[in-house]
Amino acid sequence: MNITTLEHFVVLSETLHFGRASARANISTSALSRHIRQLETELDVSLFDRDNRTVELTAEGLKFQRYARDALQQWEQIRYELTDPAEQLQGEISLWCSVTASHSILVDLLNRFRPAHPQVEIKLQTGDPEQAISRVLAREEELAIAARPGSLPAGVVFKPIRTSPLVFIAPIDPADPTQTSLDDPATWQQTPMILATSGIARERVDNWFRTFGVTPKIYARVAGNEAIVSMVSLGLGVGVVPQIVLDNSPHTARVRILDVTPALAAYDLGLFTLKRHLANPLVSAFWSLLPEAAPSSG
């Protein structure tokens, strides 16, 4: 077993597709397949269940994936420690964030990071920010940008980047006239709501309705704040999103912010990683882009 083999295994375990994995690893599909077979022979277990159409990790493969990621991180750390300090950092770090965060937050960070560390590659994955912490905990990504929950899991650290209000939004030209007046709980009871399936925003809006004794009329449950803005802009109901999402949406002109009292608690957006990852010089270099403050940890 060697570092290259571990890297090839991790790429395949993430893509679950020999063609895409071989392209990322810059080797032929047959060479990648041969490396995986050799690794399975050495370990005397099957790491993948595969047929002509699908590739899936076995239970042993999932366990080995955690080991491989840790081993590669430790390799990067010791290689850095043994390298001449005058030499530039090299390698890859993985990061998860929403599409909105990639436009509104990540661009600024990368504009500062790349000139200082031009040989470090950022492997960016975008998706629902509610998955951010779970992906960091599962070591699928080393870093993530998302909103801070009320409490952090053990071992996770957080650095704030910015605060964004959490706002109620309605269409400019509502199809339902009841959406023009939301001054009392009875009106809210009849207002179609477009809410996140789960997560911080959903918890806060559920608590908000609970204070008024209102059971919201839910028109749609949506994964992803960008989709909520789109549906509200079509006149389908009232939604709740971080204002940063609204500000970066192509539908901003078709949506208005409602003046709602009491206001929902704001989003604290920032960078997450595992505390142990801060020993990785690549992660540490990215983490240091943000102003120093005592990091919150679980």
Domains in the chain, ordered, with CATH? 1-87 (1.10.10.10), 89-162+267-298 (3.40.190.10), 166-265 (3.40.190.10)
C-alpha 133/C-alpha 115 separation (Å) is: 28
CA dihedral 198, 203, 205, 209 (to 10 degrees): 120
pLDDT tens per residue, range 185-240: 677 888 899 999 988 899 999 999 998 888 889 999 988 888 999 999 999 999 99
Structure confidence at residue 297 as a pLDDT band (50, 70, 90): low
Q: How far, CA to CA in Å, does 211 sit from each of 33, 186, 205, 206, 262?
A: 58, 13, 10, 9, 10
**Rg over CA atoms, the chain:** 23
List, edge to edge, every strand of the sheet that includes 296-297.
120-126, 91-97, 143-147, 267-274, 156-164, 296-297
pLDDT tens per residue, range 157-186: 999 999 999 999 999 875 554 444 555 667
> What is the pLDDT, as a whole number, of residue 2?
84
C-alpha 59/C-alpha 191 separation (Å) is: 46
C-alpha 11/C-alpha 264 separation (Å) is: 41
pLDDT tens per residue, range 46-61: 999 988 788 999 999 9
- Percentage above 90 pLDDT, the chain: 45
> What is the pLDDT, as a whole number, of residue 85?
56
